[in-house]
Structure 1
Amino acid sequence: MIIDSFDAGATAYPDRIFVQGGDVRMSYQDAADASHAVAAALVRDVQPGTHVGVLSPNHPMVLPAMLGVMRSGAVFVPLNARDPIEDIIWFASFCEIAVLICHPQYAPHLERLKQEIPTLRRVIGLTEPLEPSGHCIAQWVKDFAGQRVSVRREADDIAIIKSSGGTTGRPKAIMQSHRSLETAYRISNQFTPPRKDPVHLVVAPLTHAAGATMVALARIGARNVIAPSADPGVILEAIEHERITHIFLPPTMIYRLLAHPDARTRDCSSLEYVLYGAAPMSVDKLREGIALWGQVFMQSYGQSEVPGVITCLSRKDHFVHNDPELDKHLASAGRPSGACEVALMDDAGNIVGTGERGEIVARGDLVSPGYYNNPEATAEARAFGWHHTGDIGVFDENGYLYVVDRKKDMVISGGFNIYPSEIEQVIWGHPAVQDCAVVGVPDADWGERLTAVIELKPGCNATADEIIELCRKRFGSLKTPKQVEFWPTLPRSPVGKVLKKDVRSQLTAASKPA
């Protein structure tokens, strides 16, 4: 069971601080005791396999709540507090949650939650009761203090059901087994051995990537510090003040840190691992980060269906030779981690060779069981006996995997297939550019008109002509955007991914005649 990763840390480091945030500091032993109490309360009311949701912004009490759900043998359903309430209710209803552990900020929505989630039998307050006759985790911790829970689930039982994010419509509910998650945690720790007592700064939602990182790092006794906000200045201050060693960030947040005026004055020498993933990373900004913070970067490529570590670009792989040929792998997603078998496949189900493009597919213990209540999507994703990621990739002669683009993001312009990610890499290299998205917009002449939408660094300027000329020098006319726009901010998902479907839909709507 995935709770075993935490228990290993609690056994080895009982007195070490497990989580701190605001006025709360909780040791590993305290967190273990609290999670047993939460599990004991759940076991009294629900059967193993029952779906239990947790809805909260980052808060220290989220951790014993999550761990308690896992320990009870229930299925943990993380709900993203950054989503609109309508989306939260839809996903909780689709996943048929029976119990909801909920932060008090959602008290105004309590009646709606109870009415619109048909399977919901009980709502538990995270820090205080949400209604006069209700209960909260703090009460459970007192009422069930000292009780121990020893529920065991099989390796292939479902541990977590996560949202796919819904960047292309209604999200799918991804089932993750104990086996796939334990495989991910084990491989992840092999790539991140600490040199000293690890301190993990929690910036991303605990119910998503940061929570997975926290459980993996628990085995080595990491102290988890919850950042007061995702403001770049606050993050840089926390790195210096708390002597942070580990941090997971999407590339967009790394760009913002590098552009912040405090980036070169704050002491970030404690950093051992800046873990990044979830989206392609600008090589120019990666070089900038290495020059500033040293050889501390590590990339992992995966997705919730194949958690986290299909491939890894290790800290050692981030050494800069200042030789284009030797450094070309900085644009890659690394090499297969050993957590699963990885290959590239054409549309007919044939494995393609080195240097050929194909869809990235995986099979083995890391692969999750599929999608909840969606056998059609599961069957489609598992065609030819492999899980299909939807990403197009190519292996080089040294075994590095380059993620060329999302299959659905490919642009067909003038009859040619164009992969936006390689154009984005060039635009990211402009000194005024903070982030960008390249998409195809319907066009009567071209089929799709290649369009770049750019978010500039604060206080910086650039022109469309500069961007067009930069791309033309690199690619010639075919892959040069026909249209360049500058937006104050790009639309992003709650976990920081640029929503290309929203960029595309806004551009398409603007191009239609009134």
Structure 2
Amino acid sequence: MNLIDFFDKSARLYPNRVAAIFEDRQWLYRDVLDLATRIGNGLRSADVSADTKCAVLSRNDPIAFISMLGILKAQGVWVPLNPSNAKSQSMHILNAFDVEVLFFEKEEEDFARAAKEECPGIKLFLCVNGPSTLGATVEPWAASQSPEPQPSPWAPEALCWLRGTGGTTGLPKGVMNTNRNFETMMANFRATLSFDEAPVYLACAPLSHTAAVLSMVTFGMGGTLIIHRKFEAQATLKAIQARKVSFVYLPPTAIYSLLSQPNVHEFDYSSLRHFIYGAAPISSTKLHEAIDVFGPVMTQVYGQTEVPTSVTYMSPADHLSEDGSVNEKRLLSCGKPAPFSRVALMDDSGKLVPPGSIGEIVVQGGLVMKGYYKNPEATAEVSTYGWHHTGDLAYQDEDGFIYICDRKKEMIITGGYNVYPLEVEQAVLSHPAVQDCAVVGVPDEKWGEAIKAVVEVKKGFSLTEDELLAFCKAKVGSVRTPKSVDFIDELPRSGAGKVMRKEVRKHYWTAETRNV
């Protein structure tokens, strides 16, 4: 099936079911289908066809998301842009990815105006939530288009999503995801997620990232999408109770924010079946706390844009031991290979490593991207030995669970010892006064690299360097204990909410002639 087919099938089966809710407005499946069809036909009339790149620059907004469905109906390629990203990065994507159509929210009109000057390839501008001098407003424009559905051929290898990678080390690469990639991903989620009835999904993470993928999973299951403009801890907790949300996705930093709310125990979370987390490693201490607060519903997914969202999966039951208690060791795992994902661990020579040995996570099969857009060198680099290389080092235990050690290129070599930042971060994050942290290697005359922890302290708590170092030494020993701690008000985060460890590290190496 093409990606759009999953929505279309639910719209045919459940036309009168609520598909989306935003603030005080709701859309039935038949409403979304009509608007998406009209948008698709309007784009076809503007010469959008297979392989035409159409970008959407908006915070979470139902019309912006339905516009994405319209792009797919026109057989175009969706290029998601996050307003939280640097404007220079978004402008680069528009040009480098050959974007011809730009949907934008009214709040980004100044950027769209600049794009009209700097991106000559863009032929059509559409505003999703208000009038603009640059182009038509989506809903009235769509109302004048044909409501008749247009047939689309099954195209498993056709592009449907072209997304820029994080871009923390240079300009972003364009990941080419196909209908087959998303068909495999949908199969993984349909095989693993379990609901008593049609799911209610709370989209409070950016719909330009994983939240969009899970929204399509929701539509594929005939569920209801609750859209929040952005993540706000109190609004999220209230919505889970009021809307009887059955699943939600958030990155670890947002989960930490929920857990720090003084009234987090006062809400009813009994409707939750899956609280999905991913995108970055999570503190095992805070994960245990989340299980205590939200119940046995925590669900991990691991993937990358190149292998979307479902390389591995860890169910709520996997977080527990046979007696129902929390399995402390298992909390450090990213789960087992998902049902339709071919996953292995590989050494630098291309040999697969046995259980217990550390290797790089590699993936084959329908989940793997088509490649990087107009970048065959980068594509070849991550595709050696016939596998997609994730850059994540891990080992697999005797029960098949995979444990990520760290990013391959972020290992710290200090005094001849290899130290993985992730295990040090786990120790730092287990301190009750720590909200979040990043552990990096910094230049040091004696050690080559010295371990430094950069820490956010919880509001209302105090913490000294000596206290934290003593705490870490008791947890991980002297070799892995940071040599120093810097306290910071807010760590740098990506548009998806991930702490950008590379950006933290770069701050300490700017005066060096070497970077290792």
Query: Which of the numbers 85, 88, 96 marks the counterpart of 1:86?
Result: 88
TM-score, length basis structure 2: 0.96
Distance 1:50 1:167 in 2: 27
1:27 paired residue number: 28
Match of 1:369 in 2: 370
Q: CA contact under 8 A between 2:191 and 2:339: conserved in structure 1? A: no
| One-letter code aligned to 1:501 | K
Q: 1:333 offset after TM fit, Å?
A: 0.5
Which residue type is aligned with residue 467 of structure 1?
L
State the match for 2:43 in structure 1: 42
- The answer (yes or no) to whether the contact 1:165–1:493 under 8 Å persists in 2 is yes
CA distance in 1, matches of 2:137, 2:108: 14
Residue 56 (structure 1) aligned to one of 58, 70, 73: 58
Q: Which residue of 2 is the match for residue 113 of structure 1?
A: 115
Deviates more, 1:463-472 or 1:422-431: 463-472
CA contact (8 A) 1:321 1:327 kept: no
- Aligned 1:33-432 pairs, distance under 5 A: 33-46=34-47, 47-131=49-133, 134-320=135-321, 327-432=328-433
What is the letter of the counterpart of residue 431 of structure 2? H
Deviation at 1:314, TM superposition (A): 0.8
Secondary structure in 1 aligned to 2:348?
coil
The one-letter amino acid of 2:366's match is D
CA RMSD of aligned residues (A): 1.8
**1:218 Cα deviation from its structure 2 partner:** 0.8
222-231 or 183-192, which moves further after superposition? 222-231
Amino acid of the residue matched to residue 297 of structure 2?
A: V
Give deviations 1:369-417, integer Å, cap 9, x for gaps.
Answer: 1100111000000011100000001011111000110011110111111
Letter in 1 for 2:475: R
1:268–1:7: structure 2 CA closer, same or farther, 3 Å change rule?
same
CA deviation map 1:36-55 (0-9, x unaligned): 10111111122221111111
Cα 1:323–1:455, aligned 2, differ >3 Å: closer, same or farther? farther
18-27 vs 438-447, which moves further? 18-27
The question of whether the paired residues in 2 share the 8 Å contact of 1:236 and 1:262 is answered with: no
Following the alignment from structure 1 to structure 2, what is the Cα–Cα distance between the partners of residues 4 and 150?
A: 11
Name the CA distance, whole Å, in 1 between partners of 2:259 and 2:28.
Answer: 33
Q: Which residue of 1 aligns with 2:454?
A: 453
Instruction: Assess if the C-alpha contact under 8 Å between 1:79 and 1:92 holds in 2.
Output: no
Q: How many pairs were matched up? A: 511
Residues in 2 aligned to 1:207 and 1:438: alpha-carbon distance in whole angstroms: 27
Name the CA shift for 1:335/1:11 in 2 (closer, same or farther; >3 Å). Answer: same
Q: Counterpart of 1:231 in structure 2: which amino acid?
A: E
Q: Is the 8 A contact 1:228 1:234 kept in 2?
A: no
Q: What is the rounded CA distance, in whole Å, between the counterparts of 2:355 and 2:450 in structure 1? A: 31
Identical pairs, percent: 38
Q: Does the CA-based 8 Å contact 2:204-2:228 persist in structure 1?
A: yes
Q: 2:495 & 2:465 partners in 1: Cα distance?
A: 29
CA distance in 2, matches of 1:442, 1:411: 11
Instruction: Kindly indicate whether the alpha-carbon contact (under 8 Å) linking 2:298 and 2:315 is maintained by their aligned counterparts in 1.
Output: yes
How far off is 1:89 after superposition? 0.9
8 Å CA contact 1:229, 1:235 repeated in 2: no
- Residues 340 and 363 of structure 1 are in contact (CA less than 8 Å); yes or no, is this contact kept in structure 2? yes
Shift of 1:23: 3.4
Contact 2:57–2:80 (CA<8 Å) still a contact in 1?
Answer: yes
1:439 maps to 2:402: no
The Cα of 1:189 is off from its aligned counterpart by 2.2
Q: 1:215 to 1:325 in 2, by over 3 A?
A: closer
The one-letter code of the counterpart of 1:70 is: L
Unaligned runs of 5+ in 2: none
Where 1:101 maps in the other structure, the secondary structure is strand
Give the AA of the match of 1:94: A
The DSSP-based 3-state class of the residue aligned with 1:366 is coil
Aligned-residue offset at 1:277: 0.4
1:381 & 1:218 partners in 2: Cα distance? 32
Instruction: Give the drift of 1:145.
Output: 4.4
**Using the alignment, how far apart are the partners of 1:474 and 1:145 within structure 2?**
65
Q: Is the 8 A contact 1:340 1:367 kept in 2?
A: no
Counterparts of 1:488-503 in structure 2, within 5 Å, are 488-503=489-504
Alpha-carbon distance in structure 2 between the residues aligned to 1:252 and 1:189: 27
Task: Give the aligned partner of residue 462 of structure 1.
Answer: 463
Shift of the 163–449 alpha-carbon distance from structure 1 to 2, 3 Å rule, reads: same
Offset, 1:128: 3.3
Q: What's the offset of the Cα at 1:146?
A: 2.2
**C-alpha distance in 1 between matches for 2:268 and 2:14:** 28
* Aligned partner of residue 312 in structure 1, secondary structure: strand
- Higher mean C-alpha displacement, 333-342 vs 107-116: 107-116
Determine if contact 1:299/1:312 at 8 Å carries over to the other structure. yes
User: Partner letter of residue 183 of structure 1?
Assistant: T
Residues 300 and 312, structure 1, Cα contact 8 Å, conserved in 2: yes
Q: Distance in 1 between matches of 2:164 and 2:170?
A: 12
| Aligned 8 A contact 1:227 1:238 in 2 | no
Question: 1:511: how far off?
Answer: 9.7
Which deviates more, 447-456 or 231-240? 231-240
In structure 2, relative to structure 1, the CA distance for the partners of 1:162 and 1:110 (3 Å cut) is: closer
Distance in structure 2 (CA, Å) of the matches to 1:312 and 1:402? 12
Q: Which moved more, 1:365-374 or 1:183-192?
A: 183-192
Once the 2 structures are TM-superposed, how far is the Cα of residue 451 of structure 1 from its aligned partner?
Answer: 0.4
